Amino acid sequence: MNIEFVEALGELCKTRRIKKEVLVEAIEQALMSAYKKNYDSASNARVNLDLDTGEVAVYAQKKVVEKVENAQLEISIDSPDVDRTKYELGDIVEVKVTPRNFGRIAAQAAKQVIVQRIREAERGVIYDEYIEKEAEILTAIVLRVEGTDKKTVYVDLHRTEGVLDPSQQMPDEEFAPGDRIKVYVMEVNRAMKGPQVMVSRTHSGLVKRLFEMEVPEIQTGVVQIKSIAREAGYRTKMAVYSVDSNVDPVGACVGQKGLRVESIVNELRGEKVDIIKWSSDPAEYIAAALSPAKVVGVFVNEHEKAAKVVVLDNQLSLAIGKEGQNARLAAKLTGWKIDIKSQSQMEESMGV
């Protein structure tokens, strides 16, 4: 060990963002193990790495006695290593016992622990970095696609890899190495080879974050996203509200000539996005949620949180949607059970 080693150690800690104290402690522990293995298995020794000089020294703790019976554990009070002005019988004194050729073994042990600890520390740093990115959007580059039928996609997230599971991919979405895509970070887990970052293209949070990035009024808090219901690859319904009566929340999200919502639809590979105005009035909110269908009337049951909705006869199929999708998303968006009837069905049930 020398001063150049210490300087290199400091530079390494700085570039890899590792605390020097943590690495030095690990090196000293490794040197202690090497000393015990090669020289002395006694437990009364310690190894010190001097960060000013780079010197590695081994010290043995020994009891000051009048007559030495065990040289490993005891030292005579008459020994030149004992300062009689500081120590007396029964005290513990540290004596330097560094072997002559310990430097070579120490260097090898230090190298091994540095490599190991750097890997561990880097994994820790990357984990800490990405755990803060949970529920955020990242731009990823497709690295590889594995599997035959349901394919798992691995993406480059700059400092680590992300995993896009088949269940988190939109229907009929195809990927090729080099593709740039936006992904939503669902969760980050610790793993032996480094943090495992699970990402999604189907999570409703992806739509939420895309609008937050695209719409300045959402960024400033003037427009708020109250609720999102999504069937990825097909349709999303999003309820928005403005704290400023002069700002139209729907218009802000759609943008001039629909440019804001269009860029998000493009990112979602053509998925339809319905933006509706949120209301504290359940009837008004439910009617808006069934857009693009036009609603004649809404009858709410607050106790059961259920609503009967009446639409014109020619609006029934539009209100229900293909395979019930529009009605299903509206119910999910509002949190209400919704029963949709045409005007003629309602009159018939009332005996009109």
Joined tokens for residue 163: 């995993």
Q: Summarize the confidence of residues 45-68 as an average pLDDT.
A: 87
Q: Summarize the confidence of residues 276-282 as an average pLDDT.
A: 97
Choice among 103-117, 156-170, 298-312 with the minimum mean pLDDT: 103-117
Is the pLDDT confidence value at 32 over 60?
yes
Choice among 28-32, 82-86, 178-182, 279-283 with the minimum mean pLDDT: 28-32
Average pLDDT, the chain: 90
Choice among 101-115, 204-218, 236-250 with the minimum mean pLDDT: 101-115
Q: Summarize the confidence of residues 159-177 as an average pLDDT.
A: 93
pLDDT, greater one: 165 or 100: 165
Choice among 73-82, 95-104, 109-118 with the minimum mean pLDDT: 109-118
Q: Are strands 180-189 and 161-164 parallel, antiparallel or unpaired?
A: unpaired
Q: Are strands 306-311 and 337-342 parallel, antiparallel or unpaired?
A: parallel
Tell me the domains of the chain and their CATH numbers: 3-130 (3.30.1480.10), 133-200 (2.40.50.140), 203-278 (3.30.300.20), 281-352 (3.30.300.20)
pLDDT tens sequence across 124-133 = 888 999 999 9
Count of other CB atoms within 10 angstroms of residue 332: 18
Whole-structure pTM value? 0.72
Nearest to 102 by CA among 190, 32, 8, 169: 32
pLDDT tens sequence across 292-312 = 999 999 999 999 999 999 999
The secondary structure of the chain, three-state, reads: CCHHHHHHHHHHHHHHCCCHHHHHHHHHHHHHHHHHHHCCCCCCEEEEECCCCCCEEEEEEEEEECCCCCCCCEEECCCCCCCCCCCCCCCEEEEECCCCCHHHHHHHHHHHHHHHHHHHHHHHHHHHHHHCCCCCEEEEEEEEEECCCCCEEEEECCCCEEEECHHHCCCCCCCCCCCEEEEEEEEEECCCCCCEEEEECCCHHHHHHHHHHHCHHHHCCCEEEEEEEEECCCEEEEEEEECCCCCCHHHHHHCHHHHHHHHHHHHCCCCEEEEEECCCCHHHHHHHHCCCCCEEEEEEECCCCEEEEEECHHHHHHHHCHHHHHHHHHHHHHCCEEEEEEHHHHHHHCCC
Residue 92's pLDDT band, with cuts at 50, 70 and 90, is very high
Residue 29's pLDDT band, with cuts at 50, 70 and 90, is confident
pLDDT, greater one: 225 or 95: 225
pLDDT, greater one: 336 or 26: 336
Note the pLDDT of residue 291. 94
Query: Which burial class, exposed, middle or buried, applies to 278 when counting CB atoms under 10 A from its CB (0-12, 13-18, 19+)?
Result: buried
Is the pLDDT confidence value at 122 over 90?
no
Residue 352's pLDDT band, with cuts at 50, 70 and 90, is low
Contacts of 39 (CB under 8 A, 6+ apart): 99, 102
Residue 43's pLDDT band, with cuts at 50, 70 and 90, is low
Choice among 81-85, 133-137, 224-228 with the minimum mean pLDDT: 81-85
Is the pLDDT confidence value at 1 over 70?
no
Is the pLDDT confidence value at 107 over 60?
yes
